[in-house]
Amino acid sequence: MKKKSGKLKGTLSVEHLHHFRCGSCDKWWSIGDPSIALPGKQSVTKREWFCPWCGEKNIFGDGKEIKREF
């Protein structure tokens, strides 16, 4: 345990969790901050995604990022 001068300094990070629902099998999956892993930080809605359940190729949205707060 690191402890200097009586106060501990932790780390805070924010993750944007994206939920995807397959247009073929209707099952869903989630990816945290998927745009970080995409080349050139491209938009999540401007590429194709393969469903991890049925393998079908999906597109999501109309090219615009969908923002929905819960």
Binding site for Zn ion (CB under 5 A): 22, 24-25, 51, 53-54, 56
| Sign, CA torsion 11/16/21/22 | negative
| Closest distance to Zn ion from the beta carbon of 62 (Å) | 20
| Closest distance to Zn ion from the beta carbon of 8 (Å) | 44
* Comparison of 36 and 57: residue with beta carbon closer to Zn ion: 57
| Closest distance to Zn ion from the beta carbon of 48 (Å) | 13
d(C-alpha 66, C-alpha 64), whole Å:
6
| Closest by CA position to 26, among listed 50, 45, 54 | 54
